[in-house]
Amino acid sequence: MALKKTRVVVALSGGVDSSVAAYLLAKKGYDVVGVFMKNWHDESVTVSKECPWLEDSYDAMIVSEKLSIPFQTVDLSVDYQKRIVDYMFEEYEKGNTPNPDILCNREIKFDVFLKIALKLGADFIATGHYCRIKKTKKNDKDVFRLLQGLDENKDQSYFLHRLSQYQLEHLMFPLADLPKPEVRAYSKERGLPIVSRGDSQDLCFIEEGRLAHFVEQRKFDLYQHPIFLL
């Protein structure tokens, strides 16, 4: 009887990093499933048009086809609205400055998404983050440490520093030991999409420098919080 392969659900965004992460896992023989997270589709806010999730999900599907792995899309927009966007505005009204990236990782990618992946039979989930996990022992128990990625210019461990031991136990970061130029080379060699979009910052669906515009469209009074305008 053949041994059951370790199943890894990869959070495919349609971009280079997650695509190469899926490729590397498939190459190593894991049972890989690609899943696209639909986090935002509020057409009342025009910034959403600058994050074309349909095109991104199509790119993610194309990657899955190239790698011959199953693919599906999950709609997490309700949880994202409540746990990230609503919470963020509540904090701004209190005069606080929350970090949406950290919140998104802890509350959406590695909580809501992790639970969905486990229901799909996953042993692990994987993303295209540039950081490492090291398993050690303490008092005969496994302890998981989050470490800096090899590429110091792309290290993302800070954005994951609030993850729990349970979350870290179920994570894989295939790009941990790779520099970004090598990841792009992998993508080009394997015919995977090389997307020239800006890196996501602040909110997962808003490019760098656009958060203030998003808040303005949500009719939030920026002038009461001048620190946010910096």
68-103 per-residue burial string, b: 16 or more CB within 10 A, e: under 16: ebebbbbebbeebeebbbeebeeebeeeeebebbeb
Q: Considering 21, 85, 104, 131, which one is annotated as catalytic?
A: 104
Name 146's bridge partners: 133
Specify whether 204 is catalytic: yes
Q: Considering 11, 103, 163, 204, which one is annotated as catalytic?
A: 204
Name 126's bridge partners: 10, 172
Beta carbons of 173 and 134 less than 8 angstroms apart: no
Name 37's bridge partners: 74
Beta carbons of 125 and 10 less than 8 angstroms apart: yes
Specify whether 51 is catalytic: no
C-alpha–C-alpha distance, residues 225 and 151, integer Å: 35
Task: Report helix, strand or coil for 14.
Answer: coil
By C-alpha distance, which of 64, 55, 76, 54 is closest to 33? 64
The DSSP 8-state label assigned to residue 22 in this structure reads H
156-177 per-residue burial string, b: 16 or more CB within 10 A, e: under 16: bbebbeebeeebbebbbbbbbe
Measured CA distances, 36 to 62, 64, 73 (Å) = 12, 10, 5
Among all residues, which ones are annotated catalytic? 104, 204
